[in-house]
Chains A and B, each alone.
Chain A
Amino acid sequence: MSTTALYTWRKFKNATMLSLTGLSLLAVVGVLFLILAYTVSKGINHINWDLITKMPAPVGEEGGGMANAIVGSLILVSLGSAYGIPVGLFAGIYLAQTEKGWFARTVRFLTEVLNGIPSIVIGVVAFIVVVLPMKRFSALAGGFALGILMIPLITRTTEEMIRLVPSSFREAGLALGIPRWKTMMFVILPAAFKGIFTGIFLSIARVIGETAPLLFTALGNRFWSTQLDQPIASMTVFIYDYARAPFDDWNQQAWAASFILIMLVFVLNIIFRFVTRKTYTA
């Protein structure tokens, strides 16, 4: 093969590979764009104040909203956070402090396993552990299920982020005669704050879109309820119910609700960027 032919052949291979990688990128971004565009186009026309301020209308009546579901989702996520964040945070701190040893290794491995367990299975566990003894579906059971889902994510990011803080800061703290726990609380955790916060945020964003574990824990509720020991509505279960319903009006509300859910995650994302924007770096 002459040099020119070889050169042309290489140019051809380069162009082919570049197009293939470009196409893959388009496929990935395209799917995301499709979902967004479809949800927006279907949902945006049915967004109105009624949807976020009113209660669900009785079957057969037009209109109504999902005020109770929005509040319910927030309550469920708060309950999940109240349980999942401290447990995940402490477990992460423990793992970061204890690199070796069979216990830490086992916990680390089990965290991975927990992360891979389908959310519906966690719902079943919450059903057995909380719903059956209480003999009723409740917000508590839903929060418990969401909390379990949050734990592995928070644990792993906390561990990783603490490890990224150079050990020289830990040594500097200890060498000043600062007790270990204070060194962790006031020197290392603040330095790792941004990363840990990212982990917490990602876990919240993940569970706010969960439906399966809520179906047989929080169940859903067509009425206003903020009682923690009663079934409670949530946006995802609302979408699930309304999307399956044989009424056009309900289907449209499901689209609108999906749009609001996506926007909620989006807004959370912006708030999160804003909060973590200004921290000192090492």
Chain B
Amino acid sequence: MYDIMQQSLKENDIPRIQETLESVSGATDAARAPRMEALGLNAWYGKTQALFNVTLSIPRNKVLAIIGPSGCGKSTFLRSLNRMHEEVGGSIGGSILLDGEDIMDRDPVFLRRKVGMVFQKPNPFPTMTVAQNVVAGLKLNGMRDRKELARIAEENLKRVALWDEVKDVLHKPGSSLSGGQQQRLCIARTLAVEPEVILMDEPASALDPISTMKIEELIDELKKKYTIVIVTHNMQQAARISDFTAFFYMGKLIEVDKTAKIFTKPTHRQTEDYVTGSFG
């Protein structure tokens, strides 16, 4: 099955991302292998097809930005990676690998602990305090040790640079924080379950410029340890924070390359038109 896919890939437009990665000198095989791969991925909402034969590698410890006009399938692609696409009644064909293993063979509950997600609108749990929100994933999965939970809450709030701002309001509702703080709280909540990959669906589009800047700094910090895939409408943002950029259009992957190349010398005409603002 895997061989057949590899073969069909060769006939298609093989993403350049792999070559680029292989050119990185001194990298070991394990470090060079992509963290996640989509192979001939198709996705549907009922009978409407949203993704067509997308093949894309997600390099480890890098930031991959996904850009494209509304309705191009970028969110669908992102939500396929942690099987949230199925939660809204969607279906998937083709395969997605996480460290070489097909994610469709895994229990989505366990998969999502490895592949975390941050949403467009900050969504801290309304009935939980700031501290409870951070450790919600651990607590609801059975961790009881209060001291350990408090330690993890503090650790993760520090990682998202929120600790100093909220250390005196840990017992207030999570929803009492400002929008930007809420989003960093949600990122801390995602980090607390110790994922390997973090998916971000326009994480800063509902925030003001200063909060956006903080989130971007955070992403830059996080990529040392995590693999990040970020969907964004903001091309400047993609250019600022990502190592690689994938351009989607009408449910198809048009082009993926190093971010600098996509924004200066894209191979495809459609990509150029989009990044220069001729359409979209």
Taking beta carbons and an 8 Å cutoff, which residues of A are in contact with B?
Answer: 166, 168-169, 171-179, 182-183, 186-187, 190-191, 193, 279-282
Contact = CB atoms under 8 A, between A and B. Distances in A.
B110 interface: yes
A168 B182 CA distance: 14
A-B pairs with lowest CB-CB distance, top 7? A177-B113, A176-B137, A175-B117, A190-B127, A177-B112, A168-B123, A280-B173
A281 B137 CA distance: 21
Nearest to A179: B109
Given A172-B119, A187-B136, 4 more contacts: A169-B125, A176-B116, A178-B109, A187-B125
B190 interface: yes
Given A186-B140, A280-B175, A281-B175, A169 B126 contact: yes
Contacts of B140: 173, 176, 178, 182-183, 186-187
Nearest to A193: B127
16 contacts: A166-B123, A168-B119, A169-B123, A169-B126, A171-B84, A173-B140, A174-B108, A174-B112, A176-B112, A176-B136, A177-B110, A178-B140, A191-B126, A279-B127, A281-B175, A282-B175
Interface string B118-133: 0101010111100000
Nearest to B142: A182
A280 B186 CA distance: 18
Contacts of B112: 174-177
Nearest to A282: B126
Contacts of A282: 126, 175
Interface of B: 82, 84, 87, 108-113, 116-117, 119, 121, 123, 125-128, 136-137, 140-141, 173, 175, 186, 189-190, 193
Contacts of A190: 127
A174 B186 contact: no
Contacts of A169: 123, 125-126
Contacts of B137: 176-178
Nearest to B176: A280
Nearest to A189: B127
Contact of A171 (B108, B119, B173): B119
Contact of A176 (B126, B175, B193): B193
A182 B116 CA distance: 17
Contact of A175 (B116, B121, B141, B175): B116
A281 B109 CA distance: 28
A176 B110 contact: no
A177 B123 CA distance: 16
A168 B84 CA distance: 12
A169 B124 CA distance: 7
B84 A175 contact: yes
Contact of A174 (B87, B173, B193): B87
A125 B121 CA distance: 50
**Most chain A CB neighbours (cut-off 10 Å) among B136, B186, B190:** B136
A281 B123 contact: no
Contacts of B186: 172
Given A280-B173, A280-B175, A174 B123 contact: no
A179 B109 CA distance: 6
A282 B128 CA distance: 10
A282 to B, nearest CB: 4
A96 to B, nearest CB: 15
Contacts of A193: 127
A81 B212 CA distance: 50
Nearest to A100: B89
A183 B137 CA distance: 10
A220 B122 CA distance: 57
A174 B83 CA distance: 10
